[in-house]
Structure 1
Amino acid sequence: MKAYRFDSFDSLDELRLRDEPDPRPQRGEVLVRVHAVSLNFRDLAMLRGRYPRPCHPGLIPVSDAAGEVVDVGEGVSSFKVGDRVMGAFHPRWFGGEMPSTIQSDSYGAESDGWLCELKAVSQEAIVRAPDALTYVEASTLPCAGLTAWTALTGPTPIRAGHTVLVQGSGGVSIFALQLARAVGASVIATTSSAAKAEQLKALGASAVVNYAEDPQWGRSVRKLTGGRGVDRVVEVGGPGTIAQSLRAAAVGGEIASIGFLSTENPGIDFFQLKTSGASFRNITVGDRNGLLELGRAVQASRLKPIVDHVFAFEDAKAAFTHLESGSHLGKVVIRCVD
């Protein structure tokens, strides 16, 4: 099979295509022919030295994939040849408390990921892909889709009448917009692009605030809610946006902390955090059971993931470059099988 590996994290040029022996499924494993993988900011963060966990060179990158089961090992009962599947972002977090292995299982950082033609994986580390989605679309669910789902569900699920704030137009934010609208919630979005503002409105955002033109966008978001604030902030910016998110959140609302897209870190005013009245919940994508729930929700709501661009397997480097440009809206996908 062919597989990409990062020989080092010095530059994107270190992503090299190799010929490797085809893997064979062992007891309890399935062999998946990878049809598509989708990229996430974490894939760039590893390359640019911004990932908050250890990253080891020489591994196959990318955490998210969809494909077809082409062989099964002894003792496999959950899947059969021909099944359409997605990989779980955390292969050994099935539900409940996060396992202690969460770091060592990290695809692309401490274990081989999915940017390859074939992958042998435990039958417990995959789920069935929604029937209504293509492989390209299904590959976007394991990280971005599930992260948005976890942010909107959790202890207090978002429902009709609530208001959600999403930041930017990346994969998690777009999924959060779509999922929130699917349950009847209102969505306010931020962006720095007038063109993207129109696209976000077309996807269902009731209002869009340009954060480049309005540095105090948190106050503007609050005004759009009549002074109440939003019930949920899907916080993907991190240190550079948290202060405005606190201003935007309603008393009793929640900030679902997901990403670290911003590079600046002005710090957090403790008294602003204390007096905001909002709770803070850290999101680490989600467990396998959450991915199953998301798949059912996508199927029932007929939600279609927004895919910005699909690159050929041999153009994998161009896909990373496109993601880094920030010009995308939705997900960037690499098709591994024509």
Structure 2
Amino acid sequence: MSTGPVRCWAIKSQDGIQHGLLLLPDATLPKLSAEHVLVELHAASLNYRDVAILKRALALEFTPCVTAGSDGAGVVLETGSSVSDFHKGDKVVMHLAPDADEDELPTYEHIFGGLGQKIPGTLTERGVFPKSALMKMPSNLTFEQAATLTCSALTAWNALLGLRGRELRASDWVLVQGTGGVSVAALQFALAAGATVVATTSSDVKAGQLKALGAHHIINYRNDPDWGVTARSLTPKSRGVDHVIDVGGDNTLAQSLKAVRLDGLISAVGLVGGPPGAERPALMDVLWNLVIVRGVLLGSRVQFAEMNAFVEKHRIDIALDDEVFGFDQVKEAYEKVDAQKHFSKVVIKMR
């Protein structure tokens, strides 16, 4: 069962989405080894990293003709002789960094060597994956929802609950920026935990979507360039928010510092978002504001299991973009992510 032709999307070059992606109609899977698992993919989702690889951004290297995509969910078809954690019929979701230890936070080295970059990814009808690249899927989710957990949701979980002693509490205020995958996942996790959420966006349509998900306060950052001050003013006695999920890096950190409370926590999780040319803070601004700024990349397998248990316990209805793409529409899905026109996560439905 582990051999035979499958359709998959491969990365042939870094000449952009249209030229860099290639649909292979009859790729051959490797023979199933003792530590690997054969999975039938039902859905995949995309990240900015997927686009960045194709556009030669951030100096991202790849294995020629590697199967694209890191995020996905499916069903186990067959297991290697040494695999005992998974069985035929199990519903699974992918973990991007299989080389990281169970409780180890993945580094850039793990990520650059992970699914869809150095080893085969998820944009395939069937795939052979290391057993350490799989996690049991939350029972309350569809395959499309589960396919979004791999990167953005795990990053959001790590940001809110990954720093021991500073985990999210029901009394906390959380600021999320924009409507990308990490921000929307953080919003949903924070709401499920009982926290108060302030969200920013520049779109009235997306503001409505954030409100529908349960955001307590919404700020249009295009109309309010000092949105960090506004966010602080919404909190009790204007003390500032407890957690900021910062997705814009240099473009948003200055406002994040204005929003956060004394000894609050800013999780730096991304490089996109925020208006260009914004005020850019220096490292010493962290000292002057007396806050914690923590870089967050994905999370460990232990955190992944904790997140999945939380999603299942609280029956979280993971939010997706309204438009779901088919397997033959992968390039269109990439283009939507590249244009940042999506809400939450762009999903590709396999079957």
Whether the TM-score (by the shorter chain) exceeds 0.5 is yes
Deviates more, 1:109-118 or 1:224-233: 109-118
Contact 2:29 2:128 in 1 (8 A): no
1:114-171 CA distances to partner (integer Å, 9 max, x unpaired)? Answer: 1111111122221111111111111011111111111110221111110000000111
Could you tell me how far 1:320 is from its partner in structure 2?
0.9
Distance 2:241 2:106 in 1: 32
Distance 2:96 2:292 in 1: 26
Residue 254 (1) aligns with residue 265 (2): yes
Superposition pairs of residues 251-330 of structure 1, within 5 angstroms: 251-262=262-273, 267-308=280-321, 309-330=323-344
Superposition pairs of residues 1-338 of structure 1, within 5 angstroms: 1-14=6-19, 15-18=21-24, 19-51=26-58, 53-98=60-105, 102-154=110-162, 155=164, 156-225=166-235, 226-262=237-273, 267-308=280-321, 309-336=323-350, 338=351
Deviates more, 1:256-265 or 1:189-198: 256-265
SS at match of 2:120: coil
Q: Relative to 1, partners in 2 of residues 1:99 and 1:167: Cα closer, same or farther, differing over 3 Å?
A: closer
Could you tell me how far 1:104 is from its partner in structure 2?
4.8
* AA matched with 1:138: A
Could you tell me how far 1:107 is from its partner in structure 2?
2.2
Q: Relative to 1, partners in 2 of residues 1:281 and 1:166: Cα closer, same or farther, differing over 3 Å?
A: same
Contact 2:106 2:300 in 1 (8 A): no
Q: Relative to 1, partners in 2 of residues 1:111 and 1:28: Cα closer, same or farther, differing over 3 Å?
A: closer
How many corresponding residue pairs?
337
SS at match of 1:78: coil
Distance 2:331 2:106 in 1: 33
Contact 2:40 2:127 in 1 (8 A): yes
1:213-243 CA distances to partner (integer Å, 9 max, x unpaired)? Answer: 1111111111111321110111111111111
Contact 1:219 1:247 in 2 (8 A): yes
Distance 1:26 1:80 in 2: 15
Could you tell me how far 1:103 is from its partner in structure 2?
4.4
Distance 2:278 2:65 in 1: 31
Q: Relative to 1, partners in 2 of residues 1:98 and 1:150: Cα closer, same or farther, differing over 3 Å?
A: closer
SS at match of 1:51: helix
Could you tell me how far 1:59 is from its partner in structure 2?
2.1
Distance 1:264 1:116 in 2: 40
Contact 1:166 1:233 in 2 (8 A): yes
* AA matched with 1:313: F
Q: Relative to 1, partners in 2 of residues 1:270 and 1:131: Cα closer, same or farther, differing over 3 Å?
A: closer
Contact 1:53 1:103 in 2 (8 A): no
Distance 1:51 1:305 in 2: 29
Q: Relative to 1, partners in 2 of residues 1:54 and 1:250: Cα closer, same or farther, differing over 3 Å?
A: farther
Deviates more, 1:210-219 or 1:47-56: 47-56
Structure 1 gap ranges (5+) = none
Could you tell me how far 1:25 is from its partner in structure 2?
1.6
Contact 1:37 1:65 in 2 (8 A): yes
SS at match of 2:56: coil
Q: Relative to 1, partners in 2 of residues 1:334 and 1:277: Cα closer, same or farther, differing over 3 Å?
A: same
Q: Relative to 1, partners in 2 of residues 1:68 and 1:88: Cα closer, same or farther, differing over 3 Å?
A: same
Tell me the percent identity. 38
Contact 1:23 1:31 in 2 (8 A): no
Q: Relative to 1, partners in 2 of residues 1:111 and 1:210: Cα closer, same or farther, differing over 3 Å?
A: same
Q: Relative to 1, partners in 2 of residues 1:24 and 1:57: Cα closer, same or farther, differing over 3 Å?
A: closer
